[in-house]
Amino acid sequence: MVTVSDNDIEKLNKALRFIEADLVEKAIEVLNELVEERPDLIEGWYNLGYALAEAEKYEEAVKAYDEALSIDNFIFEIWFNKGAALYAMKDFEAARECYEEALEINPDDAEAWNNIGNCHSRLADGEAAIEAYTQAVALKPDYAEAFYNKANAHFIEEDDEKAIAYAELAVELNPELRKMVNQWINVARNRLTSRRENVEYKKKQLEESSSRES
């Protein structure tokens, strides 16, 4: 078992104070010094990864998270944050794999399911995205962002009735989403109206044809 010394704790706390004060580069300096002294300290690598991600140094963050995972690969937060860094790098497949690893540890995390949905969406797998968003909102019924993402995925799949319903629910939960919803909801409504009118027209034609034949 790795022993955490008072010096380690002092440096970790100092780095966290720098992060809270938005002095991320100073935090990185402290944490680099810490992991050089204590390469076996998972808290050092994890917090270094977090600080690097905050500084938008995502490739370096991933490397730090990998060092942490080499010490213990059964920690939800490390897989989750590595996934977030990879997503920021637009490596959506690798990000998805990280979120899946995170969910192996905690399958009830709604945000991880939402983020997997985002990965699937970016990878143009609408059906898988919808399934992931459905898991997210099942776990967290007031998760407005996941409802919006689910609505948007249905819109892309041209399932407009569900897109409209989930979009309206998302806005009800978080009115700030209305601006995003308004970018496409009228298209969905118009498509839905057009389809319904087309169905009615074909139904009417069929009825008139049957009437003439009889």
Q: Which has the closest alpha carbon to 175: 183, 167, 184?
A: 167
What's the average model confidence in pLDDT over 78-91? 98
Distance CA 201, CA 88 (A): 48
pLDDT tens digits for 2-20?
A: 899 999 999 999 999 999 9
Domain end (from 91, 122, 153): 91
Of 50, 67, 91, the domain-final residue: 91
Rounded (10°) CA dihedral 107, 113, 116, 121: 150
Taking Cα atoms as reference points, which of 122, 114, 101 lies closest to residue 140? 114
pLDDT digit string (tens) for 148-194? 999 999 999 999 999 999 999 999 999 999 999 999 999 999 999 99
For 89-144, the pLDDT digits (tens) are 999 999 999 999 999 999 999 999 999 999 999 999 999 999 999 999 999 999 99
163 contacts: CB under 8 Å, gap ≥ 6: 151, 152, 154, 155, 185, 188
Asked, for residue 128, whether it belongs to a domain, the answer is: no
Cα(151)–Cα(44) distance, integer angstroms: 40
Query: Quick one: tokens of 157?
Result: 């799949």
Same domain, 5 and 79: yes
* 1/66 same-domain check: yes
Structural domain includes residue 125: no
- State the residue range of the domain holding 72: 1-91
Number of domains in the chain: 2
In a domain, 132, yes or no: no
